[in-house]
Structure 1
Amino acid sequence: MSRARIRLATAVIASALAIGTLPAVAYAAPANSATVSRHHQQAQPIRQIPLQGAVNVRDLGGYRTWTGGEVRQGLVYRSDALSKLTAADLTSVSGLGLTKVVDFRIPMEVQYDGADKLPAGLASTARPVSDLGLYGTLVGAISSGDPVKQEQMLGGGRAEAYMRDIYKTFVTNPESRAQFAATLREIADGKQGPVLYHCTSGKDRTGWMSYVLLRALAVPQDTAEGDYLASNTFRGAYDAQVRAGLKASGRMQNPDLLIPLQEVRQDYLDSATAQIEADYGSFYGYLTEGLGLDLKTLAKLQVKMVR
């Protein structure tokens, strides 16, 4: 990576910040964002990596930015857990040339679902992000087999409220911020090869990480939201099978209680972005104050990731 390009990008960001235009230009949508974003989403299909043992694996490249650039492909991937990859999957993953795999799951998730299966010579880096005990709550509710208890734990809007609280902690929890920041710094590092990060379903912690990265790269907000919401498309059939299996086994009379936990929703994401406004005033403030990313790191991220 050219030092001159980094210095130039840093100077541009610093100048924009000094005159107060950076948040408006790089990190917020203009008045006609709906029209432009629809064009972006239509012109830029999401690049799924089809695997047998994981359903929500994607290349984050290909999105257009407000600055007229395009996010490079083959550098950053997002996914659900990699613990059930088949031999054929491992061959496909090997072809991605990954040099880093980051696992946002907490130890309990790894214990129940299994460690990542990865190509030889590649090991995942544990970087757990709190789920506020959701996974344990979910395991307890299902294993109880008690429909009354399950309704008490997940019904009446409680599951949705739980999800909104989790998203707020992506912003408020210092440990969570540190994990996301460390991943962004690694992605920005010019010496770091292709990176993949994931959680269990690849939709919440992974979805937030992807949303933040895309926004940091000046991808339009609506486009970044579209990438986030696409998990519902990729996970829909699999999650429906899970619910059907739970009902058939007798463990849940009303498995639809799980839908708010299985889906991503705009109001979940809005809970996090509203928390950003409350705590940092702007998305740029979250990047610099909340995640501790300096101008040089943001410039390196742009130079490496956008062409």
Structure 2
Amino acid sequence: MRVAHVRRVTGAVVTAVALGCLPAWSGAGATAAPPAAAAPPDAGAGATTVRRVVLQGAVNVRDLGGHRTAKGREVRPGQVFRADALGKLTDADVSALAALHLRTVVDFRVPLEVRGDGADRLPAGLTAVSRPVNDRGLYGTVMAVIGSADPAEQERVLAGGKAERLMREIYRSFVTDPDTRRQLAATLRDLAERGQSPLLFHCTSGKDRTGWMSYVLLRALGVPAGAAERDYLLSNAYRAEADRATREGLRRAGLMEDPELLVPLQEVRGEYLDAALDQAARDYGGFEGYLTEGLGLDTPVLARLRARLLR
């Protein structure tokens, strides 16, 4: 009887938590997207005003426009967006996306995630591009350990710093994995060329692969490292309620005695970002080397990227 119960709830709940995936949830007061929203109070002193796109079926959707470079230029609003999974959008959400006049949506999810969470719901007429970024099996691992409903197994896999170690390994792989570098570089090249933007890129929770991609883009445009990191860390504010609701749902379903074990997987942390940056320093001598050698972005491509996205 217990096995049957686990199977029934797995499809509805387990797939909603791997890599911070969002269940079919609406934030209180969610409405059609406004043009901009102020940064949360914990965003950090001097943070750029965040142009959040408020949707009912996704919680971590933002316009990367508005950030300032070290030379005082501004990232153009309305050209590049970051998001979490778009498979649970409402009709109103799809209309809100249509109002952004997107031309391209890049999906970094692996096929297992797409099967578990569903294909994107998108406005007609745009180009959908699948560029899977390897999650080192994390999605499948988390689904399996939650689906086991075994507290001892969950402790074995996630407790004692193991979840944090998994996340650091994934972030290092953003730098070391050749396929990941190719997918990220292709997206940056798209943004450098006319006809591909406005462009939106996303993964499942919009925080790790999407967060690293956003950080890399902002740094490539000349946004200071501190401002790029604050943008990265904002996922914690925007995902907090949805992630809390997911943990509570797992507890109530009897799948996890201690759903707080998932917090290191659901959050973004400076130590995760530092792991990727440390790997870039080890492999390429620093962030600039990662851009030019690791991603293969030469001076003309970077110049076009800045010309297209800065004003």
Distance 1:198 1:212 in 2: 14
Distance 2:271 2:103 in 1: 34
Aligned to 1:152: 156
Letter in 1 for 2:89: L
Answer yes or no: is 1:252 the counterpart of 2:256. Answer: yes
Answer yes or no: is 1:221 the counterpart of 2:264. Answer: no
Partner secondary structure for residue 290 of structure 2: helix
Aligned to 1:26: none
Give a deviation string over 1:124-148, Cα, whole Å, max 9, x none: 2110001110000000011110111
TM-aligned CA deviation for residue 198 of structure 1: 0.2
Aligned alpha-carbon RMSD (Å): 1.1
- Structure 1 residue ranges (4+ consecutive) displaced by more than 3 angstroms after TM superposition: 37-40
Aligned to 2:247: 243
If the length of structure 1 is used for normalisation, what is the TM-score? 0.86
Answer yes or no: is 1:168 the counterpart of 2:172. Answer: yes
Aligned to 2:26: none
Distance 2:201 2:56 in 1: 18
Distance 2:67 2:46 in 1: 8
Q: Structure 1 residue aligned with 2:61, among 57, 63, 85?
A: 57
Map residues 1-307 of structure 1 onto 2, 5 A cutoff. Answer: 40-41=46-47, 44-307=48-311
Distance 1:67 1:189 in 2: 23
Distance 2:310 2:132 in 1: 28
TM-aligned CA deviation for residue 40 of structure 1: 4.2
Is the CA contact 1:99–1:194 (under 8 Å) kept in the aligned structure 2? yes
TM-aligned CA deviation for residue 123 of structure 1: 4.5
Percent identity, please: 58
Letter in 2 for 1:83: G
Distance 1:286 1:40 in 2: 28
TM-aligned CA deviation for residue 188 of structure 1: 0.6
Aligned to 2:25: none
Unaligned runs of 5+ in 2: 1-42
Identify the structure with bigger relative contact order (alpha carbons < 8 Å, sequence gap 6+): 1
**Structure (1 or 2) with the greater helix fraction:** 1
Distance 2:111 2:45 in 1: 41
Aligned length: 269
